[in-house]
Structure 1
Amino acid sequence: MADGGALAGPVAFLGVERSLTDRVWRQRAADPAVVRALSQGQGLSEPLARALAARGVDADGAENFLRPTLRALFPDPSSFTDMDTAAEAIVDAVQAGRRVHVFADYDVDGASSAALLIRWFRAMGAELPFYVPDRLTEGYGPSPRAFETLKGQGAELVITVDCGAAAVEAVAHACSIGLEVVVIDHHLMRDRPPACRAVVNPNRPGDRSGQGDLAAAGVVFVLLAALNREARRRGMFADRPEPDLRAWLDLAALGAICDVTRLTGFNRALAKLGLQAMSSWSNPGLRALLSVAGMEPGPAKSSHAGWVLGPRINAGGRIGRADLGARLLSTDDPAEAHDLAEELDALNTARREVEREVTEAAVRRVEAAGAHADDSAVIVVEGEDWHPGVVGIVAGRLRERWRKPVVVIGVDPATGVGKGSGRSQPGVNLGRAVQGAFDEGLLLSGGGHAMAAGLAVAPGGVAAVRERLNALLAGECADAAALDALEIDALIEPRAATRDLFDQFEQLTPFGPGNPEPVFALSGVQAREPVAMNGGHVRCRLVAPDGASIRAIAWRVADLPSGRALLNGQGGLDVAGRLKADDWNGRRGVQFEIDDIHDPRRS
C-alpha cells in the first residue's frame, strides 16, 4: 500500500482538481502525532490509524469508538427536557390501566420507534394500539382528524413518535378534546413547542442532552430506560421481570441507520451494538424480511439495514398500507411475520418501478430546463401525478447525479396540491430553508432536518417556492460547492486491495454520516471487459500497469462521463471508491465500488 502522507493546505490528491463529476480530490486531514498514538496504543496499521484520526478520534476516544458500550456512553435520561415528565405520564397510565395509543410516522424510524414502545408495553402486560397516517390521504404527522379518530377509539393518552414536534395546532386540538399527549421526536423544532404533557426532543431549543444526532428510535430507546427507572422506583418489578432493553437494540440501530443520522458517540454505540444484536435475527419480522429478500442469516451489517430491510419496510408507507412496517417489527408470530414480509417485498418491487419512471421523467424535465447546469442553489422540479411515496428517493438520486440540493414535487391532478421531498448536500441546511419558506406562508406545510425535508405546496405555488428556496440557500450552496471535494483515505494498488485490507477497515463500522466509509484511490488503471448492466450500472475490471486487477462496479453512470470512460475501456484513469465484500458462492473476496473517476487527459 502507498500512502500519500499528510497534506498541507488544499493540495489536490493525485493532482485531481477536476474529476469527471467536477470534484476536487483531497486526502482526509489527520494529525501525524494522533496517528502515531493510535497506531501504538491500539496496535493498528498506519493507514487504519490514519483513517481513525481523520474521523476525529484520538487516543483517549479510540476505545469507545472501536469497542463502544452502553455503560460508558448511555446518556442520563433526565438530561433530556421533559423526559422525566414523559416517563411519569406513561407509567401513570400503565398503573391506572388507561388506554394508551402510539401515533407513528410511516417510515423505518417511525416503525422502529413504535415497535420499541409496543414491545415494552407487552413486557409490562399491556397491548399498545398504534396509528400510522396514510401518506397520500393524511400526509406527515398528527392532524386534528387523526386525534379525533384516536379519541373515538377510546384513547386517553397518545404518544407520538418520530413526529409531533412541529404539530402545534394539531396537538392543541388533541388537548382541547381531552386527550393527553406526549411527543417523542428528533426533527428540527420551532421555538414554541406544542403545549402538551411532555415534548421530548434532543433538537428542542434549550435541550441539554447533547444527543441531537439521535433518530427517533434512539430517543425512544432512552425513553424506555427512563420508563424502566420510573417503574422500578414504584416497585412495579416485584412480580414481573424488568424489560431487557438490550434485546431491542436491533430496532434502535435500524432507525439510526435508515434515518441516515450521524453515527457518533452514543448514537454510534446504538448502531454498532444494535447490529450485533440484529445478527441473531431473533426478531421474527426482520428474520422474515431477510428470508424473502433471498438472504441467509449471518452477521448483520449496515447494508442489511440500509439496503435490504429498510427499503422493504418503507415500501408500505410509500405505496402500500402505512402500518405494515410497525406491524412487522412488533409481531412475535412467525407466520404473521412471513405474510407481512412477503407483502412488503412485493410492494418494494412495485416501488422500484414507480421510482424508475419518476426518476427518468424528472431527469428529462430538469435537463430540458437546464436547471442542473445553471447557477441555481437548489433544483426544484415538479410533475403531475408523481407518486408522493417515491419523490424523496428520486430527489436523492438527482442529488447524487448533479451534486446540488434537489426538491422533487408530485402534483395531484385533481387538487393541484403538490407534495414534495428534498435531499441536500453536506453544508446546506435544506430543512431550515423549507421551514423558513413555511413560516413566510409559501407552503401549506414544511420542515425537516439539514439533509432532508418535506413540504406541501398550494396550487400554482411551485414557482414562488423555487424562487424563495434559491434565495434562502444561495450563500450556503456557494460555500458547499467550494467544499464539494471527494475525501480519500489512502492510495492503494490493485494487488493490495485484498480481503485482509477490507477486514482491517471493518473495525471502523458501522459507517454513515459522521463516520464515512473509507474511500481508496487507484492510480493509472484501465477499465477492461466493461459491461453495461440494467439500471445504467457498469461492471468491469480495473487493471494496473503490472497486470494486477480488481473487479469493479459503478452504479447508475452509463449515461454520464464516468460511465462512458469505463465503457470505452480507457486507460490511465485514476479511480476512487470503496472496497466491498464479494462473497458470492462461498468466495471471500472484494470488489471495488466506484465513486469517481479522473481522466488526466481531460484536466
Structure 2
Amino acid sequence: MADGGVSIGYLGVDRSLSGRRWRERPACPDLTRRHQLSLGLSEPLARALAARGVGDDQGQIYLNPTLKALFPDPSGFQDMDRAAEVLVDALERRRPMVVFADYDVDGASSAAQLVRWFRALGHELPIYVPDRITEGYGPSPAAFRRLRDEGAELVVTVDCGAAAHDALACAAEIGLEVVVIDHHLMRGDEIPKVAALVNPNRPDCVSGQGHLAAAGVTFVLLAALNREARRRGLFGDRLEPDLRQWLDLAAMGAICDVTQLTGFNRALAAQGLKVMSAWRNLGLKALLDVAKSEGPASVFHVGFILGPRINAGGRIGRADLGARLLSTDDPEEARALAEELDALNASRKEVEREVVEAAVAVIEREMNQPDQPCLLVAADGWHPGVIGIAAGRLRERYRKPVVVVGIDRAANVGKGSGRSQPGVNLGRAVQAAFDEGLLLAGGGHAMAAGLSVRPDSIPELRAFLNERLAAESEAAAAEDCLDVDALVTTQGCSRAMWQDFQRLAPFGPGNPEPVFAAADVRVERPMALRGGHVRCTLADGSGGKLKAIAWRVEDTETGRRLLAEGGAVHVVGRLKPDDWQGREGVQLEIEDVADPRRA
C-alpha cells in the first residue's frame, strides 16, 4: 500500500504503458513448499504449480496428464450411448450418412475423426461444410433439404447444431435423422427432438466436461463407437481402431478453440501433441511443409501455423478445405489442399491487415472517441471472414470490448463480430440489443459475439452497447492486471530455466503460460521489423544479455518506448526457445513494458 491506501502493483507498476497493473500471481506458500518437497521442483516452478490451483494430490498427474487417469466414462454424457447405437446401426445397415461440420478447425478436426473411424470400418463418410458468407453458421433448413434430396438418411452435425432449432424441426418434417455432437451453450431448457444430442453443455448433462471442444466430445464418441461395435461383434474380421492415432485431431480442436486446458482436456492436448509430433497425418504434415516449419508439435504449431491456415478456407475460401485436408490419405491431395490453404492464409492476413489499419484510423481519427466503454467500428466492404480476427486484434490494442461491422450496402445489412475483455459480458449485451429490436440477429457468449444489423441502426446500437457495458467496462479496466510468475535477470534466463517450466505445458486457458518480469533493464539495439514488430536486446546489472521481441507494437506507446532506447524500463513477457542456427538459447516475447518513472 502506498500513502492514502492506493494499491501498488508488482515492481510498483500500477499502470504500465498499455494501461495495466502488474501483480504477482497469487499462490499459497505452504502448498508451494509441499510441491517442492514431494515433486522435487525448483521454488519458482513449485510456486507456478500452486498458483494454477494444483492441489497436493494433483501435482504428478498435472505434470504428466494421461488418458488412462483422466478419460471420462462415455456413458456419463447424456445421449452418448444412444448416439453410438444409432451410428453403428447405420453403419451395419449401410444407410447413406453425411457429417455436417462447422467451418473452423474444431469442426474440421471433429469431422475428420468421424471420417477416419468410419473409414476404418469400411465406410466412406461424406462431409458437408456450410459456406460462411452464403449460408452462415450451422445447419439450416435449406441445407438439410438439399442433403435429403441428395439421398442422405442420417446427418451427424459436429461443432454445431445444438441451437439450430429451425433446421432440426425441418429435418423432422422431411424424415432426415440427425445426431448432434456439439459443445456450445444452449439457450433455455428445451432439448431439440433428434435421434441423439451429445453436448456436455446441454442442461441435463452431468458429465462435468463442459470445457471440451467439439473435437474432444467427438473423441469420446469414438470410444463409445468402439464399445458399441465391439458389443455387436464387428471386430471379428478386422482390427479394432486404435483411437490414439487420432489424438492429434482432438488436440487441434482443443487448442484452436481456446478451451480450458484442465483435466481430461489437458490430457487430450498433451498426448495429442505427442502423437502429432510423428506427423503421420498427411494433411498436417503437408501443411507444416508448405509453411516451411518443422520440429516436434507444440501449441505454437497448432495455434499459429496450422490452425490459421486450416481456418483460412472457411474465412475467405472454400469452407470444406480444412476438413478434407485433415481426413485425406492421398499424399497428392494433401499437398494440393495444403498449398491452397497456405495461399488463402496469405490473402487472409493481407485482408485482415487492411481492415485493422482502417479500423484504427476510424477509431482514432474519425470517431475520435477511443475512451468509450465499447468500441463499435463499421465500414463498407469489410470482409465478414476476417472481422472476428480484426476485433480480437483491436481488443488487444485498446484493452476493451470491440465490435467490427462490415457493411454490405447492396443487401442493406452489416455483419458484425465482437471480442470482449475479461469481466465484460459482450454476448449478454448483444442479446439484449436483439431483444430491444436493434439487431436482425445476434448472440454469443461472454468473450465473443456475432450480430447482423441494418446500417442505419449502427449509431443507436453503438450508444446502446456503451450504456449497457459502461459499469462492467469500468470495473474490468480497474481489474485489468497482468499476472507475473517470477522475477528474473537477463543472466538467469537460460535454456535450462525454459525447459524446467515446460513441464507445465501445454499452455492455454486454465493453464496460462508462465510470465516473467525483468526489472530495470536497458533496451539496446532496437529495430522495427516488417509487420510492426520491434526486436531488441535487454541488459541489466546481472551482466547478461537477453534477446527480445514485441509483436505488433511499433505504433503504440510500448513500441515507441522500446525504439527510443535510453533509461531503464521494467518488462514482462514469456520465454521462448531460440534455435536460430542451432544456438539453443532463449528470447523473451515482451507482453508489456513499464517506465519506472511513470508506473
TM-score band, normalised by the shorter chain?
Answer: over 0.9
Task: Tell me which amino acid in the other structure corresponds to 1:295.
Answer: S
Counterpart position of 2:80: 83
Task: Tell me which amino acid in the other structure corresponds to 1:99.
Answer: P
Counterpart position of 1:156: 153
- In the TM superposition, 1:541-552 aligns within 5 A as 541-552=537-548
Structure 1 residue 461 displacement after superposition: 3.1
What is the aligned-residue identity percentage?
A: 65
Greater Cα offset, 219-228 or 488-497? 219-228
| Kept after mapping to 2: 8 A contact 1:121/1:128 | yes
Greater Cα offset, 228-237 or 299-308? 228-237
Counterpart position of 1:73: 70
Cα deviation 1:232-283 (Å, max 9, x = unaligned) = 2222222221111110000000001011111111111111110011000000
Mapped partners of 1:208, 1:371: distance in 2: 49
Counterpart position of 2:333: 336
Structure 1 residue 370 displacement after superposition: 4.9
| Kept after mapping to 2: 8 A contact 1:112/1:251 | yes
| Kept after mapping to 1: 8 A contact 2:21/2:482 | yes
Cα deviation 1:272-326 (Å, max 9, x = unaligned) = 1100110000000000000000123x31100000000001001111111111000
- Indicate which of 213, 216, 223 corresponds to 1:215: 213
Counterpart position of 1:318: 315
Counterpart position of 1:116: 113
Counterpart position of 1:455: 451
TM-aligned CA distance change 1:220 to 1:445, over 3 Å: farther
Counterpart position of 1:280: 278
| 1:425 equivalent in alignment to 2:417 | no
| Kept after mapping to 2: 8 A contact 1:579/1:591 | yes
Note the aligned Cα RMSD (angstroms). 1.6
Task: Tell me which amino acid in the other structure corresponds to 2:238.
Answer: R
TM-aligned CA distance change 1:367 to 1:490, over 3 Å: same
TM-aligned CA distance change 1:165 to 1:445, over 3 Å: farther
| Kept after mapping to 2: 8 A contact 1:372/1:402 | no
Structure 1 residue 442 displacement after superposition: 3.6
- In the TM superposition, 1:393-472 aligns within 5 A as 393-472=389-468
TM-aligned CA distance change 1:381 to 1:558, over 3 Å: same
Which segments of 5 or more consecutive residues in structure 1 lack a partner in the other structure?
1-8
TM-aligned CA distance change 1:411 to 1:326, over 3 Å: same
If the length of structure 1 is used for normalisation, what is the TM-score?
A: 0.96
TM-aligned CA distance change 1:487 to 1:89, over 3 Å: same
Counterpart position of 1:592: 588
Counterpart position of 1:251: 249
Counterpart position of 1:526: 522
Mapped partners of 2:546, 2:178: distance in 1: 56
Structure 1 residue 204 displacement after superposition: 1.4
Mapped partners of 1:417, 1:407: distance in 2: 15
Mapped partners of 2:428, 2:220: distance in 1: 26
Counterpart position of 1:128: 125
Cα deviation 1:142-195 (Å, max 9, x = unaligned) = 111111111122111111111111111111111111101111111111112332
| 1:301 equivalent in alignment to 2:286 | no
TM-aligned CA distance change 1:499 to 1:330, over 3 Å: same
| Kept after mapping to 2: 8 A contact 1:202/1:210 | yes
Mapped partners of 1:77, 1:446: distance in 2: 33
Q: Matched residue pairs, number?
A: 593
Mapped partners of 1:363, 1:436: distance in 2: 27
| 1:96 equivalent in alignment to 2:101 | no
Mapped partners of 2:116, 2:594: distance in 1: 51
Counterpart position of 1:4: none
- Indicate which of 252, 263, 268 corresponds to 1:265: 263
Task: Tell me which amino acid in the other structure corresponds to 1:365.
Answer: V
SS of 2:265 mapped into structure 1: helix
| Kept after mapping to 1: 8 A contact 2:489/2:542 | no
If the length of structure 2 is used for normalisation, what is the TM-score?
A: 0.96
Structure 1 residue 440 displacement after superposition: 4.8
Greater Cα offset, 239-248 or 318-327? 239-248
Counterpart position of 1:385: 381
Cα deviation 1:347-393 (Å, max 9, x = unaligned) = 111111101100001111112355763242x2221111100111111
TM-aligned CA distance change 1:121 to 1:445, over 3 Å: farther
Mapped partners of 1:188, 1:481: distance in 2: 27
